[in-house]
Amino acid sequence: MIADFTSSGWSVYIMVITALGLIACFWLTLSLSKRRTGTGEIETTGHVWDETLAEYNNPLPRWWIWLFYLTIGFAVVYLILYPGFGAYKGSFAWSSTGQYEAEVAKAKAVYEPLFAKYLQQEVPQVAADPEARAMGERLYLTYCVQCHGSDARGSKGFPNLADGDWLWGGSPAEIEKTIHEGRNGVMPPMGAAVGSAADVEDLANYVLSLSGSGHDALKAARGQANFAACAACHGADGKGNPALGAPNLTDKTWLYGGSLATIIETIDKGRSNQMPSFGSLLGDGKIRVLAAYVWGLSNAPQTTAAAR
């Protein structure tokens, strides 16, 4: 169990090993620093090369010995001041987490006032501010580009943010909520509920017919009855439900592709998409600016006189 690796016994073990290591290093350095008295006979290590080339067993140079002592002393002082000696936190009580939090707090003190003023403005007003839009673009290129692309047009499985088609709603409030809380869109596998492979194909053709895409009219007619299994999320008319993240099936905008094979795969295996939450990472001010930038990608914010 993981608890076996976090017990106090491991701390004692590390402390003992560390202390023994330092003592052993000190003893070895001390023993090598002793000068040997002359006996008239040259002491060697017993290693001989080329018949006459021998290795003398002389003590280390004094500067080298003092360098070892200095290293041992540095280790002792370090372990007193900083963590490293088992569970002992050091007199400075330093930690990487504490240093990170201090740096974050210092950075927030600088940039939070820059973003705070935008919390007093509505998203369209922020989107019309060229300075705020430039800030939002930099935030987008830092946190969003990996999934949605540099042009915000997404890719397979990642929504296009520039086309005005929204799974969870495209109002400023909904965009802010999406960034702040994240989203988890799940379509369960429906193949078994629909029936046979032929039934799934019929249903896929009916789904294609909703958007006027190419389909087999006879199969679509047969598949219409099975669409009842989908209506709970996508609606009886197939226009979706933003409250559930269920896409509109009538608009020819497809997250995974609109081919017959892809739709059959979606019905059979389902889909699962998750966008992480950025609330704790960015904070309200940055989210307002980023949401304004994203909203502006599919809208036309009017630049006000004050923003020019």
User: In three state form, how does the secondary structure of 225-287 look?
Assistant: HHHHHHHHHHCCCCCCECCCCECCCCCCCCCCCCCHHHHHHHHHHCEEEEECCCHHHHHHHHH
Residue 55: strand, helix, or coil:
strand
Q: Are 295 and 127 in contact (CB under 8 A)?
A: yes
Q: What is the pLDDT of residues 143-172, one digit of tens each?
A: 999 999 999 999 999 999 999 899 999 999
- Its CATH architecture, for the domain 104-182+276-297, is Orthogonal Bundle (1.10)
- pLDDT less than 70: residues of the chain: 1-6, 35-42, 302-308
| CB distance 143 to 278 below 8 Å | yes
For residues 134 and 142, give the distance between their C-alpha atoms in angstroms, rounded to a whole number.
13
pLDDT at 61: 86
- Structure confidence at residue 37 (pLDDT): 54
Q: How many CB atoms lie within 10 A of CB 195?
A: 14
What does the pLDDT read at residue 189? 94
* CATH 1.10.760.10 residue spans of the chain: 104-182+276-297, 185-275
185-275: which CATH architecture?
A: Orthogonal Bundle (1.10)
Is the distance from CB of 302 to CB of 128 less than 8 angstroms?
yes
pLDDT at 104: 86
Residue 158 CB contacts under 8 Å (≥ 6 apart), including other chains = 147, 148, 149, 255
For the chain, report the end-to-end CA distance as a whole number of angstroms. Answer: 62
| Predicted confidence (pLDDT) per residue in 237-249, tens digit | 999 999 999 999 9
Provide the token pair at 147: 């999934």
Q: 187 - beta bridge partners?
A: 271
